[in-house]
Structure formats: C-alpha cells, structure tokens
Amino acid sequence: MMDIRKIMELLPHRYPFLLVDRIIEVVPGKRVVGLKNVTINEPCFQGHFPEHPILPGVLIVEAMAQVGGVFALTSDNIGENKVSYFVGIDKARFRRPVRPGDTIRIEMEQVSVKRGIYTFAGKAYVDGKVVAEAQLMATFADK
C-alpha cells in the first residue's frame, strides 16, 4: 500500500493534476491497483458540466497513466531522478459516466517493456462496473 505522501515522492504531479489517491496493490512486474476519489471540488466540474457533473474521460485516462507510472517507478530500477512521459493511447473506451462521490478503482497490467517503452493494459471501475479501459504507453527521461 502507498498513501498520497509516497505517491507524491514518486510522481511530479500536484494539485489539480495529481489524480491518484492511494495504491492498494502492487505485484512487481505484473499489475498494480490504485484508487482515485472523485469529489465535487474537482476543478473540471466548474465547466464539465455545472448542472450535470461528469469526470472527463481524458482525466480518467490520465489517472490510469499515473497509476501505471507509479507501478513502473516502483517495479523497475528506473530511479527517482526520472520523469514519465505518456507516449501513446490505444483501444480507449468509455463505458459509463463517473460522477462526484465515486471512487475509481484502477487496475493496470504490464503488457511489455521494449526499448524503454512500457505498455500497460488497464481498466477503471466504479462499484465493480467498468467505466473505462485503455492500453497506455510511457517512457522515462531525466528530470
């Protein structure tokens, strides 16, 4: 388990763009599970949409990427002086809306690591139902 303080040691993201609240499971080299608590205080809800707040899909994908980044940084000896760069998204699908009060459970599985490119397949769930899924790619560079 990792709390927000440990996540902040690993990721450079900060409010309002730090989108992972907790890591609840890590199986090195295989998978990671993280949580994102969605509140009405998210800045995006001012405009998306004030009368019917829905978390934008792109933020769900970013949360998935951040969970994958935590996983790669802790599973491999990448080093703490590295920053992750999102380099690709494939097969992204959005299945259900995510609203304030929801907790997103993000499950990411490592598919491969080739030439410094990490590929993850992931799904995001709310109340046991898939809300989004995607295949994500990232690499790491010096800060």
User: What CATH number corresponds to the domain at position 26?
Assistant: 3.10.129.10
Task: Quickly count: other Cβ atoms within 10 Å of residue 128's Cβ.
Answer: 6
What per-residue confidence (pLDDT) applies to 65?
96
Confidence of residue 82 (pLDDT cuts 50, 70, 90): confident
Q: Which of 6, 13, 48, 123 is catalytic?
A: 48
Judge whether residue 43 has pLDDT over 90.
yes
Amino acid at 49: F
In the numeric block, the tokens 């440990």 are attached to: 6
Annotate 14-50 with DSSP letters as a single string.
-TTS----EEEEEETTTEEEEEEE--TT-GGGGTS-T
Q: Tell me: the pLDDT tens digits for 85-121?
A: 999 999 999 999 999 999 999 999 999 999 989 999 9
Whether 13 is a known active-site residue: answer: no
Q: How many domains does the chain have?
A: 1
CB 98 within 8 Å of CB 131: yes
Confidence of residue 7 (pLDDT cuts 50, 70, 90): very high
How far apart (Å, rounded) are the C-alpha atoms in residues 31 and 92? 19
What per-residue confidence (pLDDT) applies to 28?
85
In the numeric block, the tokens 């929801």 are attached to: 102
Domain that holds residue 41: 4-142
What per-residue confidence (pLDDT) applies to 74?
84
Average pLDDT over the chain reads 94
